[in-house]
Structure 1
Amino acid sequence: MMKKYIYLTLFFSGLFFNAYAQEVVTGVVKDATGQTIPGATVVIKGTSKYVSSDLDGKFSIAALKDFPFTLQINITGYQQQEIDIYELSDEPAEIILKTANVLDEVVVIGYGTQKKGDITGSVSSVPQLALKQPISSFDRALQGAAAGVQVTQVSGQPGAAVSIRIRGGNSITGGNEPLYVIDGFPVYNSNGDASAGVTAGPSINALASLNPSDIESIEVLKDASATAIYGSRGANGVVLITTKKGKAGQNTLTYDAYYGTQQVLKKIDVMTNAKDWAILKNEARANSGKAPYYTQDQINGLGEGTDWQDAAFRSASIQNHQISMTGGDDKTRYAISGNYFKQKGVLLNTDFERYSGRVNLERDFSEKFKVGVNLTASKISAQVANAGVVNALLAMPPAVNIRDASGKYTYQSEFETPLGNPIATLEKEINYTETYRFLGNAYGEYAFFDGLVAKVSFGTDIINNKQNRFIPSDIYQGANSNPTGKAYVGSKFASTWLNENTLSYSKTINDKHSLNVVVGYTQQAFETESAIAGSQAFITDQLSYNDLASGSVYTQPESGSSAWALNSYLGRINYSIDQKYIFTVSGRADGSSRFGKDKKWGYFPSAAFAWNISKEDFLSSYKTISNLKVRLSAGVTGNQEIGQYLSLATLGSNTYFFGGQTYVGFAPNRIANPDLGWETTAQYDAGIDLSLYKNRINFVFDAYLKKTTNLLLNVPIPYTSGQTTALQNYGSVENKGIELGINTENLTGPFSWNTNFVFSVNRNKVLTLGDGADYIISGANIAQVGQPLGTFYGYQTNGLFQTGDDIANLPTINPATTKPGDRRYIDINGDGKITQADDRTFIGNAQPKFQGGITNTLSYLNFDLSIFFQGTYGNKVFNQNKQQLELLTGQQNASVTAYERWTPTNPTNDVQRAFEDPAPVNTSRYVEDGSFLRLKNITLGYNLPKNIAAKIHSNQIKVYVSAANVFTWTKYTGFDPEVSRNEQSTLNQGIDYSIYPSSKSFLAGLSISF
């Protein structure tokens, strides 16, 4: 018994000794200058054991019993280092990491990856820092972050879509948004794609379903060499999204969160004093030959008046929470995350909310075979502002109270222009959309032998959208319907499936010739179904949209379905000699169901050449130059974004009345066009990549020319056809420009400072519109041969008529009614009259002369600071809000410029006289300079010392404060110069009218990893 006790004592003593006397490997990680590197990951190769270097660059990791083994040391910005451990030493190992060579950085391209040094096309990488802003969708992170990419925030509504143009707009009526490829799955983000069609307000961005914090990298493919492999969808550029993946030996649990508040960027200056507005109203009536509306006693009793904007705008919260787990071993890598994001709008009762989850998993079954899945699921919901509510906030007179004497909401403005109470609209109207999305793909890769790899993937994108709208009978919009009150319920289900099959081969011969070949076949199909139902005249508003049967009058239901399919063959060959001379040839053949039976297939080739001059012997003595490469490319891409069935003859339903009965019949509404084909964009690019002083200064310069032909336009056709227009291939548009990107490492060491600068210029011009057409007019915009898209069209003004002017003999729109104080217009053709046909002209353009962004990142010890400025110059905005507010009718509110209006005692030459019935005229008066410089984001962070983090067993704890849209320097008088009433439209861009205003935010955040 005693012997057994002794054995047990010795056994547990051995365990105790092994636990506390375990042998370890110690070391310190430094850079080439001798500075220690904190946060470097040290992994025992082939195992899941890892540690991170501390603030002094030191590490300690338990040794394996079996020698030798290998340590892998890596950190972003440095080349990975491996050291073999043959025995333990009392001296710490000193590990020197070399700065990562810019040319060795791996960049994601279409259907593969490439080292930067081997790229022949124009590819921009979006800095990770851009994704750390408080944004609802990742596409907003492209703003000012990549040269040649113009991002317009078309609405401040939380979750609203943005408009993106890569190297300008190619199409007049077709789609101009880029193609997004998310972990290999192509997605086109067009407004309304996931909408049931019920919501009257800003479109909710379908891309907002993807959590920006899940993204590892964003690459923007711009020239034909980079985009031709996407064929019929590459003309507008391609944005490649790669989500975060797990890494062997790095098991990490991270919690990220931030919380903040938002405020409207600015208010528009309108009259808020009821007395002053009443005087204006009386004056407008007097100038129209009418009696005053108010007596002087009534004016004196009006009080200060209502500031409708103050009542509608609020301080709104924004918050984000994410938990993520990443890691793996030499066989399996995983990344799992869950996210909650909520942004309340700065307008009452508007908000956006997202729940999302992601799973990325890879498994090596053998050295030859591996599989993986990328899955994301999300639910987004939003309460959307009524499309006209901002206009009502600006136009509602200050003499109207928000509530009446009984405390109920005032129903409407009592004056001639009918305006509903916008506060009641915001508070009581339900405009709710809810979208569920599942996006995922699964793939398998098999290496037949060294260099030859086959990959097969299957994916699906499923969107289920539900929209509910209820307009109660006690607000203006509901009471003015006939019958009163409205409710609608709509749903839309859209699904896409994708199968891609590629075969790639890589081979290096004699360390001199390098070959990479990719060939593939892909197929994709899409189908959608939608339905809308509605009722009116409800007995009670309590049930809102939840019981359509309780409405006594049913609105006509709508339903529909559509589908498209795309089959493709693709290929690319990359060939380099000594890494000096690099050739790329690629192409794709697409067969699309969207086009005519004689034009189903399109072919999109490209070729490119790059010369790494810095590898030539004659530059070897120039130590200043780290890298010098010139690039040339040419190719053709296409655009298929025109909707479905437009090449076919179709029938439309119509309602007829015969003998007191209602009948439904069908009639032709489109003629067939079997020759309807692609819009085709030919692009030529020349670029230079230059790195100096051991890659501390990096330049990327590109010059390009794009010509888009066979535009998809609705062309007038003879009335004998039974139709007025038909979609045909006519016309062409040109874009040309330059792009510059500069990245500098200004200071290194304990205090470091990096700068990233992007700059771009694009010039757009309509070359032809086909079949003798010279222009297309749409509202305040015109597409005119020889002019850029986005051109404003109207009258040039040269002041006001004054007392004493011989008005009868001067050019006017209406000589019989024109009086002193009315606006003058320039007689363009000199015929003594002002007419639409002859005297309207070009009065500005929405496209900027140049745009850019600059980010400075500084760090010192545990502190880091980033400052991001973004701006444009030379773009114009048609301020339609100002046009309405300067009518000075006295029937609605007016701009504060009304205080400077023309009167006989104030003969100004700027603001016209008050008058009850002027017609709004598109003039140069309302075209304003939209140039701006914006402090887009500023973030200050602090990493807590390691010894503090260790108390809760954390690897890292970071706290930070951030501000977005902090200051905007601009001459524009509206809410924000970044506007476009018509959202993603290229023809009708740059119009500011009743748009949900943008906001600025201030927040604090926390990141903890274990």
Structure 2
Amino acid sequence: MKVYLLTMLLCCGVTFAQQTVTGSVTDANKQSIPGANINIVGTSGGASTDFDGSFKLNTTAKPPFTLKVSAVGFETKTINVTSFSQRVDVILKDEETKLDEIVVSASRTPERVIESPVTIERMGIQEIKNTTASTFYDGLENLKEVHFNTSSISFKSVNTRGFASVANTRFMQLVDGMDNSSPALNFVLGNLIGISDIDVANVELLPGASSALYGANAFNGIMFMNSKSPFTNEGISVYYKYGQTSQKVAGTNDYNDFGIRAAKAFTKHFALKGNFTYMTATEWIAADDRSMTGGSVGHANNQNYDGLNLYGDEVTTFIPNVGQVSRTGYREQDITDNKVKSIKADFSAHIKPWADETEVILQYKIGLGSTIYQGANRYALKDFMMQQAKVEVKGKNFFARFYTTDEDAGNSYDMRFAAWNVNRAAKSDQEWFTNYATAYQLSGAVMGSNANQSAAIAREYADYNRLPAALQSLSQFQVAPAGKPRFEPGSPEFNNALAMVKENPDLTQGAKFIDQSKLYHSDVNYNFRDIIKFAEVQVGGSWRKYHMDSKGTIFTDYDGPIEYREYGAYAQLVKKFMDDRLKFTGSLRYDKSQNFDGNVSPRVSFVYSAGESKRHNFRLSYQTGFRNPTTQDQYIGLDLGPFALIGSAAENLDRFQETKDVSAAGQAMGAPATVNLSGRNAYTNAYTVASVQAFSASGNTADLVVANIGLVKPEQVHAFEVGYRSVVQNDLSIDLNAYYNIYNDFMNTSRVISPYYGTAGTNASDPNVQMSYAALAFGDRRVYQVYTNTAAQISSLGFGVGLAKKVYKDFELGVNYNYAQFDFDQAEDPSFIAGFNTPKHRIKGSLGNANVIKNLGFNVNVRWNSEYLWQSSFGDGMIPENTVLDAQINYGIPKLKSVIKVGATNLFGTDYLQVIGAGAIGKLVFASWTINP
């Protein structure tokens, strides 16, 4: 039936005789304007110019008719076409400013940026062409309000207004209306399943709470990436980029990026589009060797050394008369091949059944890649795949879409567990520590070695079964150890052990994680502008279902996939008063998740346009945002060794089960040889980590504090914002904003310690409480990381200033500054980890000219941020201040319909950090050739 319908549409379409209008669009200096829109007045037909300003418009309309030609930053012009032989060459006059750009995302209806009720950033065709980054997505970092968190050369998350992480579940990212975050792991994989550089039409970004229109998770902001239509952008486009990355640890390595786009409007009713891109590079290698346990770097002077980017040395134990000792670890670059790969493709059919603006879109997207993700551990995502399929119907006043997201973790694995279990493949933990203890104690007794010398001898024996001559004849060493010597990185033994570990999903022996989760989502929206006249009214809603399937390797889905649902509905009214100078926008949304109470999210805003030409625009808004706990917050059940992650959905507490061995001392106190623990131990029978540490140091049970952990629930933010936008002195653009956010039930993680036996409490006379004290003293205890909400009062505030001006002819200078801070009283919640992870001060500047001379343009971006604290479950530390310079020059070759670009990011070449635990970001020098029809 579907094939028949498409065939009929094609047949019907070709019966219309099509003719072509050709021409070009330039500015007053005769320089081409790419991305200009050409529309036939009164119809839905249209086209857009390519990089050299040329266009072809296919139409069945008969002359005479009128063309409307428009481009961002230029005045709109109309041209009468009287014959198809007429060539249409249009010169557009500059109309400064970017504040006149049309955006949709702020109110779900077209409006100028200057009239937007909230802060909004936009990247259009011209900005994409001029970006100094290697891709348009990386170029987003140079937008005002945007700060990146870089976990990998291909895995970057957008941070706006603080409280961000690598996963950044407080920020939503949509591609052609589809949420492209991972259904199970909850992170957006950069642009893995996003848009190709030659297919992106524009990007709109709203920093700040946006839940009133977009629901859960649009908490700190939302970004929309929109692709080009095959009806208006036809032809075959190709690009190729070659570059080299340079980093102190990784050295100099090749960077390759290739893409092709094909689009064809066969008739005015039917068009097809396809994209394919392929990128390879070498990772920014993470090699931070700071000690996470304090003390010196390296085992030479610190027998309990745990390096940040060394794995395996987290396995530690206390040895009487020796002290705390950790196993020898492996570097991150030993555990992964450090290769980055991204392959993505998308295909879509676009059908316009009637003469109006109604369009049916059938779209399929797939992304396959290898990169590194940082959460509680560092994960090598190998052949990670995500697919999306969408059916959408949209018209002048409505849209309805349904899409699915399907992911597969492929050959991905946890690098920390990989190192642990490669170590254990050579020698068990028990045997290794026994070897260490024996050699340590005898080296001191027989050889008179000091502590550091004994530690070195003990590690050599435990790792390689090698002893000094003075100890070789001792009877304690006459029986050869059963374990093998440590596997050296790169050796056949190491490679074989690592290969086996990466294929085994049992984390006691392997490191592989399985994820075949899915997401089902639908949206509808209707605008009553043609029915209701007194104001613009629109309504809409959404529905979503999560289907989590990790086979028990991430979630507690041991007995089958876990599913839950969310839905929401909203309404919005926009009304202008006072001769259209005052615009009021009111929105209200209700959302309900299956596991939580419903949330109501209102938004109220006023925009006043002052001045004779209404160019001074003041705005004031209040809105709320909320975030539902993620799939991991609710259903994770993951043993990470030193601690376990426990989601706090009520049913999850019983789903998580594990068995632990009790010490001989505990058994002597009457405890059983083994105990069964569940997730309830973490939430209902635990002490705070800080109090257990104090008790361990003092031995005073009065130091112990019972952890009072509640089950996680949605968090809310009340956001207040004021702003001003204007253009003064003809070409000076001003954009000011300030915000103040108040957070309630802010979600965070806490670490707690649960005794294997006994009851956590403060009544020292209770025998059950006494047993819990004994369990802590004997080391019979379990560390959990749990998901909960803090009762602390948290607020954040910030402001931004953006200025742009043409300083000489077409040289445009831009500068912006952002300030951000948060406040809370640590005494209200001593265990709360804020994770603001945002610089207090950021400055960005740009200087560019799209046409310095004919067809030659350039752009330079510089950004600076102050030092700031990074906090995460993987590691904490200070991110130093840094200054980064990016630059590019581009040259257009109209006869070849080509643009050649040469650029560099981090041109100074000094490696810098954005995430503690991730690789330092080096320099990328690249050259690209783009051919657009």
TM-score range, shorter chain: 0.5 to 0.7
Identify the residue that residue 569 of structure 1 maps to in structure 2.
569
Q: Cα distance 1:73–1:731, how it changes in 2: closer, same or farther (>3 A)?
A: same
Shift of 1:572: 1.2
The TM-score normalised by the length of structure 1 is 0.61
Pick from 183, 190, 210: which aligns with 2:176?
A: 183
Write the distance in 2 (CA, Å) between the matches of 1:51 and 1:168.
38
Q: Is the 8 A contact 1:145 1:758 kept in 2?
A: no
Map 1:528-607 → 2, pairs under 5 A = 528-531=548-551, 561-577=561-577, 578-595=579-596, 600-607=597-604
Secondary structure of the residue aligned to 1:466 is coil
Maintained 8 Å contact 1:610/1:629: yes
Counterpart CA distance in 1 for 2:789 and 2:339 is: 41
Letter in 1 for 2:550: S
Q: Name 2:606's counterpart in structure 1.
A: 609
Which structure 2 residues correspond to residues 518-537 of structure 1 after superposition, within 5 A?
A: 518-531=538-551
Is residue 741 of structure 1 aligned with residue 802 of structure 2? yes
1:118 paired residue among 115, 130, 140 = 115
1:764 aligns with 2:822: yes
The equivalent residue for 1:826 is none
Aligned amino acid, residue 831 of structure 2:
I
Matched position secondary structure for 1:232: coil
Write the letter of the residue equivalent to 1:436: M
Bigger radius of gyration among the two: 1
CA distance in 1, matches of 2:367, 2:610: 51
Tell me the CA shift for residue 263 of structure 1. 1.1
**Quick check: 2:736–2:799 contact (8 Å CA) kept in 1?**
yes
Please say which of residues 996-1005 and 65-74 is displaced more in the overlay.
65-74
Match among 241, 262, 283 for residue 225 of structure 2: 241
SS in 1 for 2:516: strand
The verdict on how the C-alpha distance between 1:765 and 1:728 changes in structure 2, with shifts beyond 3 A counting, is closer
Instruction: Tell me the distance in 1 between the aligned counterparts of 2:61 and 2:136.
Output: 47
**In the superposition, relative to structure 1, how do residues 480 and 636 fare at CA in structure 2: closer, same or farther (>3 Å)?**
same
Q: Distance in 2 between matches of 1:530 and 1:54?
A: 46
What CA distance in whole angstroms lies between the structure 1 residues aligned with 2:132 and 2:564? 36
| 1:930 aligned partner | 880
The amino acid across from 1:939 in the alignment is: Q
Distance in 1 between the 2:567 and 2:894 partners? 56
Match in the other structure for 2:382: 433
Of residues 160, 163, 168, the one that matches 1:169 is 163
Residue pair 2:212, 2:570 contacting (<8 A) in 1 also: no
- Mapped contact 1:492–1:530 kept (Cα < 8 A): yes
Q: Distance in 1 between matches of 2:160 and 2:268?
A: 40
- Check 1:102–1:713 CA distance in 2 against 1; reply closer, same or farther (3 A cut): closer
Work out the CA distance in 2 between the residues paired with 1:586 and 1:677.
Answer: 24
Deviations 1:832-851 (A, max 9, x none): xxxxxxxxxxxxxx642310
| Distance in structure 1 (CA, Å) of the matches to 2:621 and 2:411 | 46
Quote the offset at 1:1005 in angstroms.
1.0
Contact 1:144 1:758 in 2 (8 A): no
- Flag the 1:759–1:561 CA change in 2: closer, same or farther, 3 A: farther
Structure 1 residue matching 2:139: 3-state secondary structure: helix
Match in the other structure for 2:289: none
- Partner AA of 2:742 in structure 1: K
Question: Relative to structure 1, is the Cα distance of residues 130 and 765 closer, same or farther in structure 2, using a 3 angstrom cutoff?
Answer: farther
Check whether the contact 1:441–1:458 (CA below 8 A) recurs between aligned residues: yes
**Counterparts of 1:566 and 1:727, CA distance in 2:** 20
Where does residue 140 of structure 2 map in the other structure?
A: 142
The corresponding residue for 1:331 is 269
State the Cα distance separating 1:566 from its structure 2 match.
0.9
Q: Matches of 2:899 and 2:741 in 1, distance apart?
A: 46
Structure 1 match to 2:535: 515
Corresponding residue number in structure 2 for 1:628: 616
The Cα RMSD (Å) is: 4.8
The reply to whether residue 1005 of structure 1 matches residue 928 of structure 2 is: yes
Contact 1:126 1:146 in 2 (8 A): no
In 2, distance between residues paired with 1:979 and 1:493? 28
User: What are structure 1's unaligned runs of at least 5 residues?
Assistant: 1-22, 195-203, 268-308, 391-429, 448-452, 535-555, 621-625, 784-788, 791-845, 884-921, 950-955, 970-974, 982-994
Is residue 677–residue 729 contact of structure 1 (8 Å, CA) maintained in 2? no
SS in 2 for 1:998: coil
- Within the candidate set 698, 713, 721, 1:685 is matched to 721
Q: Give per-residue Cα distances to partners, 1:179-233, cap 9 Å, x unaligned.
A: 1122222344699447xxxxxxxxx936423245243222221344x54222332
Secondary structure of the 1:233 match is: coil
Once residues 732 and 763 of structure 1 are traced to their aligned partners in structure 2, the CA distance between those partners, rounded to angstroms, is: 14
**Distance in 1 between the 2:422 and 2:650 partners?**
44
Contact between 2:175 and 2:194, CA under 8 Å: does it hold in 1?
A: no
Q: Deviations over 1:966-1010 (max 9, x none)?
A: 1167xxxxx5243323xxxxxxxxxxxxx4232211121111123
2: CA distance, partners of 1:68 / 1:465: 57
Q: Does the C-alpha gap of structure 1 residues 109 and 36 become closer, same or farther in structure 2, counting only changes over 3 Å?
A: closer
**CA–CA distance in structure 2, aligned partners of residues 232 and 731 of structure 1:** 22
The answer to whether the 8 A contact 2:171-2:220 is kept is yes
Unaligned runs of 5+ in 2: 1-18, 286-332, 430-482, 485-496, 505-511, 636-647, 685-708, 762-768, 773-781
Find the counterpart in structure 2 of residue 916 from structure 1: none
- Residue identity in the other structure for 2:650: L
Given the alignment, which residue of 202, 209, 215 partners 1:231? Answer: 215
Identity, in percent, stands at: 15
Contact 2:51 2:899 (C-alpha < 8 Å) held by counterparts: no
Partners in 2 of 1:179 and 1:142 — Cα distance?
15
Pair 560,159 (structure 1): closer, same or farther in 2 beyond 3 Å? farther
Aligned to 2:891: 942
Q: Secondary structure at the residue paired with 1:141?
A: helix
8 Å Cα contact 1:183-1:374 kept in structure 2: no
Distance verdict in 2 for CA 1:476–1:43, change over 3 Å: same
The corresponding residue for 1:364 is 352
1:773 maps to a residue whose letter is: E
Kept in 2: contact 1:762–1:849 (CA 8 A)? yes
- Tell me whether 1:83 sits opposite 2:79 in the alignment: yes
Deviation at 1:178, TM superposition (A): 0.7
Say whether 1:967 aligns with 2:908. yes
Paired residue secondary structure (2:142): coil
Distance 1:468 1:98 in 2: 54
Relative to 1, partners in 2 of residues 1:533 and 1:176: Cα closer, same or farther, differing over 3 Å?
closer
Distance 1:714 1:746, change over 3 A: closer
The Cα shift of 1:112 comes to: 4.0
In structure 2, what is the Cα distance between the partners aligned to 1:49 and 1:228?
A: 33
Which residue in the other structure is 2:404 paired with?
460
**Conserved 8 A contact 1:504-1:518:** yes
Give matches, 1:211-290, under 5 Å: 211-213=195-197, 214-224=199-209, 226-248=210-232, 250-264=233-247, 267=248
- Report SS of the residue matched to 2:828: coil
Provide the secondary structure at the position in 2 that maps to 1:966: coil
Deviations 1:770-823 (A, max 9, x none): xx735227xxxx65xxxxx66xxxxxxxxxxxxxxxxxxxxxxxxxxxxxxxxx
Structure 2 match to 1:710: 745
Letter in 1 for 2:634: Q
Q: 1:120 to 1:446 in 2, by over 3 A?
A: closer
1:730 is the counterpart of 2:730: no
Rounded Cα–Cα distance in structure 2 between residues aligned with 1:591 and 1:508: 30
Cα offset, 1:731, TM superposition: 1.8
Q: Is the 8 A contact 2:148 2:159 kept in 1?
A: yes
1:575 CA displacement:
1.2
Contact 1:216 1:243 survives alignment (8 Å): yes
Distance change >3 Å, CA 655–CA 125, structure 1 → 2: same
Specify the alignment match of 2:341 in structure 1.
353
Query: Could you say what secondary structure the match of 1:143 adopts?
Result: helix
State the AA in 1 paired with 2:230.
Answer: G
- In the alignment, which residue of structure 1 is the partner of 2:259? 322
